Amino acid sequence: MKKINTKYRETKTLFTILFLFILILAEWSCKDDDTSIEPDKNIKNEKTEIYYYNNNNKQVISANDTLSLKLESTLTIYIDSVNSPSIHAQTPIDIQNNNNFSYDCHAREVALSGVMVTWNNNTESMAFYIDILPLNAYFYVQGTNFIINVTDETVKEAIQDELIKNYIPNYSAIKLSYKTLSNGDLVFVYGSEESTNGTFNEDGENISLLCSDHSYTILYAGENSKNEYSITQDLTRKFKEQYATENIQEVLTVTTLLKSNN
């Protein structure tokens, strides 16, 4: 009887060892067949990054973040994107402390991959609201002044429709500022002010400033939006010669008047 029990224990131990050995082999086999690929940490994340520098420290602005700060000097917001080969690696947006918005239109091939920046200003600070929109290839700024930079006609139409539906009803009169590029082109940037007399065209032609290779689509509207000059590519030079020298002072006066009413 003792021999039987001893043999039984030996057999049981042998089967246990064999079973464990089979489990170990099975686990190694699963590891060998595992075709999952670990993400390459050196590959840059495919998304747009928006950031600025505060005392040489990089501050990233996420979607739906609101940034409030006092502007004592020029603030440059950088937009990095790897979503489109047409986008420069680093596209700066400069917001000056005099509440004017400036954008480098010399990089005319750049389309800023659906990034919206909006801001509201008071006497001491501006608040920036960042949103990543589904529409691609445009940059839109709503606030004191704004520029729309579009390289795709279908996107341009979609943006105009979007603005007409969601933004234009809230704004009625237009204020205008301008800057001269190094190539001599005049770029007119217009923003919006509340007014009971202001009107907008439903076709959207008066809400876009389109940077192209050699010319700009420009609109000028007076204090009550009664005098409008819609400038196409063919009329750009004529506008510069006929209207710029005559109306620049009027434009600056209108802008000053509207700013004083803020």
Contact 208, 148 (CB under 8 A): yes
d(C-alpha 48, C-alpha 81), whole Å: 4
Torsion sign, CA atoms 90, 161, 173, 127? negative
200: nearest Cα among 163, 183, 225, 181? 225
pLDDT of residue 58: 73
H or E element at residue 260? helix 245-260
Contact 123, 144 (CB under 8 A): no
d(C-alpha 222, C-alpha 190), whole Å: 11
pLDDT of residue 22: 74
Across the chain, which distance is largest between two alpha carbons, in Å? 121
Contacts of 179 (CB under 8 A, 6+ apart): 102, 186, 187, 189
pLDDT of residue 5: 56
Q: Tell me: the pLDDT tens digits for 56-113?
A: 677 665 544 444 444 333 344 554 443 333 333 333 444 433 333 333 322 222 222 2
Q: How far apart are the first and last CA of the chain?
A: 106
pLDDT of residue 4: 55
pLDDT of residue 9: 66
pLDDT tens series, the chain, 262 aa: 545 556 656 666 766 777 676 777 666 665 544 443 343 334 333 444 556 666 667 766 554 444 444 433 334 455 444 333 333 333 344 443 333 333 332 222 222 222 333 333 332 222 222 222 222 222 333 222 233 333 334 333 443 444 334 333 333 223 333 333 344 333 333 333 322 222 333 233 333 332 222 222 333 332 333 333 333 333 333 333 433 433 333 333 233 233 333 3
Task: Using the CB atoms, write b or e for 192-213: b if 16+ within 10 Å.
Answer: bbebeebebeeebebbbbbbee
pLDDT of residue 78: 54
- pTM (predicted TM-score): 0.23
d(C-alpha 144, C-alpha 130), whole Å: 16
d(C-alpha 225, C-alpha 171), whole Å: 11
Where in the chain are the domains? Answer: 1-31, 63-260
* Residue 252 CB neighbour total at 10 angstroms: 13
